[in-house]
Amino acid sequence: MILDKSMKCMFRVIFLSGFLVSGPIMVYADEGIGNFSANVGYFSEYRFRGLDQSGEAAAIQGGFDWAHDSGFYLGSWASNVEFNEATSASEFDLYAGYTKELKSGLSVDLSLIEYLYPGATESLNYDYWELALGIGKRIGDVSVATAINWSDQFFGGSGNATYFQGKIDYELPLGLMLSGHVGKQWIEDNSTYGSPDYVDYSIGASYAWQGFDVSVTYVDTDVDDTWNSTTQVGKDDTAVLAISRSF
């Protein structure tokens, strides 16, 4: 997934059309019950905050979401992963939150995200949670958002961690969109995590057609080649191709 989950929640609110990286949301709605949606996609590589999570191989990702008119929402998301230890074949995330659009047009989102890695050796301490706060606003065809994520015990037992990110999307005619993203990750125990504090950034374009979305995104970080990361080669720049569908 190119777009961080907390930022995806924020852009769900900003875009009245419901456009996400995984595509336009098509929902079943029942007044009083809320809106249900699902998405599935093929990604040529799974990058999370700029670092490889799938051994530079392709990933199949998908999720289910529920959102209520009151602003509360719940969701789940899954992907195959591959780390050096080769002990986990999947990632499964759960999230819940509340979002509200203010009279000024500013959207505010507060969420809790749980990252789970079924099959991983327990001593590796892969599982962790984050608290995320985001704000965003749409101005004409341009949408901007920023979010901050915090965990008291990050991936691999690497201690306190904070991630700050910003994103801008520009909607073009005929279902085209241009996107840019930059984020900064701070980690208390860099040696345990396998990376120094670092910056990741990306720029991409997507095309929506008949419920499908095709996107290509250039992703890179400022992590030096001498540092180990989730894989030895998973910190270099790359282009990620994605094809997804929402229901």
Least confident of 13-17, 59-63, 156-160: 13-17
Residue 123 has pLDDT above 80, yes or no: yes
Residue 205 has pLDDT above 90, yes or no: yes
Counting every residue, how long is the chain? 247
Residue 179 has pLDDT above 90, yes or no: yes
Over the chain, what is the mean pLDDT? 86
Using CA atoms, how far apart are residues 164 and 146, in angstroms rounded to an integer? 8
pLDDT at 150: 98
Max Cα–Cα distance, the chain, nearest Å: 55
Least confident of 46-50, 132-136, 141-145, 223-227: 223-227
Residue 213 has pLDDT above 70, yes or no: yes
Using CA atoms, how far apart are residues 34 and 225, in angstroms rounded to an integer? 47
Compute how many other C-beta atoms are within 10 angstroms of the C-beta atom of residue 209.
10
Residue 95 has pLDDT above 90, yes or no: yes
pLDDT at 130: 98
pLDDT at 122: 87
Residue 19 has pLDDT above 60, yes or no: no
Q: Looking at per-residue confidence, does 221 or 224 come out higher? A: 221
Residue 6 has pLDDT above 70, yes or no: no
Average pLDDT value for residue range 31-41: 89
Using CA atoms, how far apart are residues 181 and 217, in angstroms rounded to an integer? 10
Average pLDDT value for residue range 95-124: 94
Least confident of 23-27, 174-178, 197-201, 222-226: 23-27
**pLDDT category, 233, cuts 50, 70, 90?**
low
Residue 85 has pLDDT above 70, yes or no: no
* E strand map for 193-232: 198-209, 212-221
**pLDDT category, 27, cuts 50, 70, 90?**
very low
Compute how many other C-beta atoms are within 10 angstroms of the C-beta atom of residue 224.
10
